[in-house]
Amino acid sequence: MSISDLAVRELDTGLAVNREPEVVLEEAHRAAAALKRVLEAKPNKVMFGGEQYLEFEDWQTVGRFYGIAPRNVLTRPLTLGDVSGWEATAEAVHVPTGRVVSSADAMCMNDEEKWRARPKYELHYVKKSGGTSLDDPGPSELIWEKGAAWKNRPKKERVHVGEEVVPSFQLRSMAQTRAASKALRNALAWVVVLAGYRPTPAEELPQVDHRPPSPAVPPPRAEDADYTEPPSATAPVADAPMDDILKRSILNEKIIAHGNTLKYKADVRARLWEEHVGGDPRTASLEKLTAFEEYLHILAGGG
């Protein structure tokens, strides 16, 4: 091989534009516009400093536009002095070719304010004489109420009884979520910026609490066995906006599916619903429905 051949080969290794920039930008603007429509329709946006930030599911949406999906490749417990938690590594993979286009590491440690402890609640009976009681106070003290979806039952309310350590599995799950979000961000932030959003994943914001709500489910009691099924979650409600009906229908279907995955019995489902949402599923708060669905999603094994 001659010296001139080597020189030509060396020049061939330089960076080159693979596709016309105008075409790439046109496609990116279409993706950005589609992403913006999705984010503006979210019922429970993550806002900080007056700007909206993308959650893991939003980064997955951008990835779908380009055939890119996240893959967790490593999760391990981590201890640094008195601090413990989990570290995760994730990759962003171009699904049609299997090529890794980005990777990222992330941690979730118990020295973070939001991940050290969480409020602990119990479901107490409300007494006629005032105050509440964890144990059944007896027939003379019970207050009976009729819910929109259930038969008469003793009135109860959530009572804050202290704090409890955040379970390790939740720290592990968040480490995986952060790593996957970051891997997608490394590959696709330029599209998000074109849409007018900040490229930092919402899970990395210390001021945002992404933990699932604290469960407050006491052991099943005999008097709770007379629950009836709530009205159809997808039945229309007069004067309700069509978008809200659709969102509630989707969320309720997901909640039912998570309950099936977790194999919850009817009394447990009813208790969880009363605690986290309450009322008629056709008119329930979209914010509460979203939080409850995310909580069950994590319990059912989601990230």
Output the DSSP codes for 94-163. Answer: ETTTTEEEEEEEEEEETTSHHHHEEEEEEEEEEBTTSSEESS---TTTB-EEE-SSS-EEE-EEEEEEEE
Q: Please, what is the angle between helix 21-40 and helix 56-65, to 10°?
A: 140
Q: How many Å apart are CA 129 and CA 117, to the nearest integer?
A: 33
CATH number (3.30.1360, 2.30.30, 3.30.390, 1.20.120) of 20-110+168-204 reads 3.30.390
Burial of 263 per CB tally in 10 Å (0-12, 13-18, 19+): exposed
Angle between helices 21-40 and 168-194 (to 10 degrees): 130
Lookup result for tokens 């144990």: 135
Cα–Cα distances (Å) from 137 to 114, 159, 182, in that order, read: 36, 16, 51
Instruction: Mark 37-64 as b/e (b = at least 16 C-beta within 10 Å).
Output: eebeebeeebeeeeebbbbbebbbbbbe
DSSP label at residue 187: H
How many helices (DSSP H) and strands (DSSP E) are in the chain?
8, 10
279, 148 Cβ separation under 8 angstroms: yes
Q: Which sequence spans correspond to the domains of the chain? A: 20-110+168-204, 115-165, 239-303
**Length of the chain, in residues:** 303
44 near 72, Cβ under 8 Å? no
3-class secondary structure, 219:
coil
Paired strand residues for 271: none
**What's the confidence (pLDDT) of residue 302?**
65
User: What pLDDT sits at residue 153?
Assistant: 81
Tens-digit pLDDT string for the chain (303 aa): 454 454 444 445 567 788 888 998 999 999 999 999 999 988 888 888 889 999 999 999 999 999 999 999 999 999 999 999 999 999 999 999 999 999 999 999 999 888 888 778 888 898 989 888 888 888 888 888 876 555 678 888 888 888 888 889 989 999 999 999 999 999 999 999 999 999 999 998 876 655 555 444 444 444 444 433 344 444 444 444 546 666 777 788 788 888 888 888 887 888 888 888 888 787 888 888 888 888 888 787 765
